[in-house]
Amino acid sequence: MKLLLINNEFPPIGGGGSTVAKYAVKYFSEAGHDVTLITSSFRDLPRKEKFSASFVGDGINKGSVTIIRVPAFRRYKDYCSAWELISFGISALFYCLWYVPSQKPDVIHAYFALPAGWVARIIHLIYGTPFSVYFGGSDMPGSNPSRYKKLYPYITLLTRWVWRGASVSTVCSHGLFELGRKLDPKYDFRLVPNGVELSRFVPVERRPNPKVKILFIGRLIARKGFQYVVQALPRIQQITNVPFEVEVVGTGAMRSHLDGLAVKLGVSHLIKYVGTVPYEKLHESYQGADVFVLTSESEGMPAVTLEAMGCGLPIITTNVPGNREIVREGENGYLIDVGDTEKLAQDLAKLIQNEELRKKMGVASRQFVQGYEWREIIKQYENILKEIVYHKKT
- On whether both 7 and 112 belong to a single domain, the answer is yes
CATH, residue 132: 3.40.50.2000
Backbone angles phi, psi at 43, to 5 degrees: 50, -120
Return the pLDDT at 149: 61
> In which band, very low, low, confident or very high, does the pLDDT at 155 lie, cut at 50, 70 and 90?
confident
Which residues, in sequence order, are bridge partners of residue 196? 373
Spatial contact of 105 and 4, defined as CB atoms under 8 Å apart: yes
Decide if 200 is inside a domain. Answer: no
Peptide bond into 115 cis (omega under 30): yes
127 is in which domain, residue-wise?
2-195+373-393
User: In this predicted structure, what is the pLDDT of residue 138?
Assistant: 77
Domain membership of residue 55 (yes or no) is yes
CB–CB of 171/177 below 8 Å?
Answer: yes
Per-residue pLDDT at 150: 67
- Please tell me the predicted confidence (pLDDT) of residue 238: 96
Asked whether the bond before 208 is cis by omega within 30 degrees of 0, the reply is no
Tally of domains in the chain? 2
Domain contains 203: no
Residues 386 and 290 in one domain: no
Q: Do 85 and 151 belong to one domain?
A: yes
- Give residue-wise pLDDT tens across range 305-357: 999 999 999 999 999 988 999 999 999 999 999 999 999 999 999 999 999 99
348, 316 in Cβ contact below 8 A? yes
Mean pLDDT of the chain: 92
Q: What is the pLDDT of residues 12-67, one digit of tens each?
A: 998 888 999 999 999 999 999 999 999 999 999 999 998 765 433 344 456 889 99
Whether 321 and 344 map to the same domain: the answer is: yes
The strands making up 333-336's β-sheet, listed across from edge to edge, are 271-275, 244-249, 212-217, 291-294, 315-318, 333-336
Alpha-carbon span 355 to 107, nearest angstrom: 50
Residues 281 and 368 in one domain: yes
Residue 229 and residue 178 share a domain: no
For 375-388, write each residue's pLDDT tens digit.
999 999 999 999 99
Length of the chain counted residue by residue: 394
Provide the pLDDT for residue 60: 43
- One domain for residues 13 and 100: yes
Domain-located, residue 206: no
Percent of the chain whose predicted confidence (pLDDT) is above 90: 77
Mark whether 357 and 380 lie in a shared domain.
no
pLDDT per position as a tens digit, 94-132: 999 999 999 999 999 999 998 999 999 999 999 999 999
N- to C-terminal Cα distance for the chain? 16
Residue 151 predicted with pLDDT over 80: no
List the strands of the sheet with 107-111, edge to edge: 48-54, 61-70, 34-40, 2-6, 107-111, 131-135, 168-171, 190-191
Are residues 87 and 41 part of one domain? yes
* Paired residues of 38 in beta bridges: 6, 68
Residue 73 pLDDT more than 60?
yes
Q: Is the pLDDT of residue 221 over 80?
A: yes
Q: What is the pLDDT of residue 144?
A: 67
- Do 225 and 266 reside in the same domain of the chain? yes
- What pLDDT band is residue 146 in, cutting at 50, 70 and 90? low
Q: Do both 186 and 298 map to the same domain?
A: no
pLDDT digits (tens, 9 = 90+) for 245-264: 999 999 988 999 999 999 99
Claim to verify: residue 160 and residue 252 sit in the same structural domain: no
Mean of pLDDT values over 70-96: 91
Residue 56: what pLDDT? 36
Report which of 18, 23, 30 is spatially closest to residue 74, judged by C-alpha positions.
Answer: 18
What residue type is assigned to position 25 of the chain?
Answer: V
Task: Please list, in sequence order, all residues whose beta carbon lies within 8 angstroms of the beta carbon of residue 115, skipping any fewer than 6 positions away.
Answer: 8, 85, 86, 88, 89, 92
Q: What does the alpha-carbon distance between residue 80 and residue 301 come to, in Å, rounded to a whole number?
A: 19
Confidence at residue 148, expressed as pLDDT on a 0 to 100 scale: 59
Q: Could you give the maximum distance between any two Cα atoms of the chain, in Å?
A: 68
Res 98: pLDDT: 97
Q: Is residue 262 part of a domain?
A: yes
